[in-house]
Amino acid sequence: MQIIKAASEIHNFSLKCRSNFLKIGFVPTMGALHKGHLSLIAAAKSENDQTVCSIFVNPSQFNEAADFEKYPRQLDTDLKLLEEAGVDVAFIPDVTEVYPHPDRKNYDLGKVAAIIEGAHRPGHFNGVASVVKRFFEIIRPHRAYFGLKDYQQYLIIRNLVKNYALDIEIVGCPILRENSGLAMSSRNQLLSADGRQVASQLSETLVKTKSAAADHGAAELEKRGLDLLKAKEGVDVEYFLIVDADTLKTNPDSKSNRIALLAARVEGVRLIDNMFLDK
Ligand code: AMP
C-alpha cells in the first residue's frame, strides 16, 4: 500500500492509472475506521482496479470546535486496517494540502442541504462539499463510495456531482450495525459501555417504527418514535422525522418511499441513524 500525503503526488497517481485505463474507486473517511468503512472499501475493490481511501478530519465541516477536537484519531491503527483491507493508496493529507487557499465558496447543493442536518449544523454540508469536491478534483476517481448511514450527505454528494457536472459515479452503501443494532460510527468510541447500550435504543426505535409503518402516516409515526425516545433515560433527541427519501420533505398522506431520520445525543455524543420504512 502506498501512503501519499501530497496532492500533487496523488494527482500523478491518478493520471498514471487513467493513462493505463485503470478504474479508480475512492472512499473518503475521517479515520477511526470500523467495519462500516471497511464495507465501503470492499465495494470499491470489487468494482475498480485501484482503491484509494482518504483519512482526513476536515475542520470545515465541524460546526463546533469541541467536536472537532474530541473527534477520535488513530492513524497507525487505521493504516494497518487499510493495508489488511487491500487498499492500494492511503491518502492522508495535511490541512494545507487540502486547502492551500481557504475555500469560501457557497456550494449549490440543492434544497435538501438547507433542512434537517443542514438546519441543525450550519455550514456542515458546505464544508463536506468543499472537501469532497477538492478530493474529487485531485484524485479524479471513476467511482466514489458513501455510506447511507449519512443519508442526507449521500443525497447532497449526488447533487454536488450533478450540479457541477463531475464525471463520477456515486455509490451508496448500506449501514453496518453492531449486534445490538447500533449503527457503527467512529463516534461510538466516545461512548462508555453503558452509553452504547443506551444508544442501541435509537435503532430499536427505528425498527419499531418500520414495523408500524404500513398502518400509519408520518405524523403518527413521528409521535410514537419521539415518545419512545423521550422515555429512554440518557437519550437527548434532536429530531425524529419521517420524510420522503428523495426530497426529505414530510408528506402526511404517503405510505411509500419514506425514510425515518434521527439525531440524538447520548453522553454528549451526537449520533445519527436512519431506516427506510417501505422496503
Ligand atoms: P466518516 O469517517 O464518519 O466520515 O465516514 C466515512 C464514510 O463511511 C461515509 O460515507 C459514511 O457514511 C460511511 N459510514 C460510516 N459509518 C457507516 C456504517 N455504519 N455503515 C456504512 N457506512 C458507514
> pLDDT digit string (tens) for 219-265?
999 999 999 999 999 999 999 999 999 999 999 999 999 999 999 99
> How many angstroms is it from 215 CA to the middle of ligand 1?
31
Task: Give the separation between CA 36 and CA 186, rounded to whole angstroms.
Answer: 9
Atom 18 (ligand 1) nearest CA: 36
Measure the N-to-C terminal CA separation of the chain; round to a whole number of Å: 39
From the list 1, 17, 38, the residue with the least C-alpha distance to 139 is: 17
Atom 10 (ligand 1) nearest CA: 146
Specify the pLDDT at position 269: 97
Q: Is the CB of 10 under 6 A from ligand 1?
A: no
> pLDDT digit string (tens) for 53-111?
999 999 999 999 999 999 999 999 999 999 999 999 999 999 999 999 999 999 999 99
Q: Work out the angle at residue 52's Cα, subtended by the Cα atoms of residues 51 and 57, and round it to the nearest 5 degrees.
A: 145
Specify the pLDDT at position 148: 98
Mark residue 232 as left, alpha or beta (left: phi above 0; alpha: psi -120 to 50; beta: remaining): beta
Specify the pLDDT at position 259: 98
Specify the pLDDT at position 113: 97
Tell me the three state secondary structure of residue 260.
Answer: strand
Q: Which atom of ligand 1 is nearest to the CA of 33?
A: 2
Atom 12 (ligand 1) nearest CA: 147
> How many angstroms is it from 178 CA to the middle of ligand 1?
14
Contact (CB, 8 A) for 117 and 127: no
One-letter identity of residue 263: A
Q: Which atom of ligand 1 is nearest to the CA of 31?
A: 2
Specify the pLDDT at position 94: 97
pLDDT category of residue 134 using cuts at 50, 70 and 90: very high
Specify the pLDDT at position 208: 98
> pLDDT digit string (tens) for 143-198?
999 999 999 999 999 999 999 999 999 999 999 999 999 999 999 999 999 999 99
Beta bridge partners of 239: 263
Q: Is the CB of 124 under 6 A from ligand 1?
A: no
Q: Is the CB of 271 under 6 A from ligand 1?
A: no
Q: List, by residue number, the catalytic residues.
A: 37
Contact (CB, 8 A) for 74 and 94: no
Task: Give the separation between CA 128 and CA 56, rounded to whole angstroms.
Answer: 11
> How many angstroms is it from 272 CA to the middle of ligand 1?
11
